[in-house]
Amino acid sequence: MSNEVIIKLNSVGTYSVGKTSLIRRYTENTFSEDYLPTLGVDITVKRGIIIDTKPIRIVFMDTAGEEKFGSLRKTYFEGSLGCIAVYDITRPETLKDLDRWLKEYRGVAGDDKIISIVDNKIDLAGQKSIPTQDGKRYARSQGSDFYEASAKFGGKIIPRIFVDLVQNVLQELAK
């Protein structure tokens, strides 16, 4: 479509928090129990989205959460309009690490980019070690929306995360 709006989004967070799983759940409605780390970047496209009568194509730059890919990751942050910052509710350090991840992302993409904070793996509630309030407080401190999700079980929250993010990006672009 010639009038299609292309929106480039990134994912940030420590390895194994579920960034790829959230994106795959949204784009393909699939989930894999097998953990395969992202090597560098995984580019996924989602088409056929209509928001406010605008056809949207989302290009996801799902970047690796391992330190050794830092310089490569920064290349894919260029031109990004927003991102999901993901942490794992069973690993407290992954929430603390978001400061570093967001600093790296904003250092390239810019401070004005739209960020959504996602606490993932709520299906592991029995192993939860980060109170929901901590995640909400962190999101507020970043001026970000907050979501609790399970890439494993999906549900209505998964598309909501991405549609809300895209709507917020479109509002920012319209300013």
- Per-residue tokens: 68: 């050794």
Strand partners, 82: 9, 114
- Could you list the residue range(s) of the whole structural domain that residue 91 is in? 5-174
**Per-residue pLDDT, 75:** 81
**Per-residue pLDDT, 1:** 45
DSSP H or E run through 139: helix 132-142
**pLDDT tens column, 129-142:** 999 999 999 999 99
**Number of folded domains in the chain?**
1
Q: What is the spatial distance between Cα 118 and Cα 49, in angstroms, rounded to a whole number?
A: 21
Residue type, 39: L
**pLDDT tens column, 105-123:** 999 999 999 999 999 999 9
Query: What CATH number is associated with residue 111?
Result: 3.40.50.300
Instruction: Kindly give the parts of the chain with pLDDT less than 50.
Output: 1
User: Cα angle at 85 between 3 and 128, to 5 degrees?
Assistant: 135
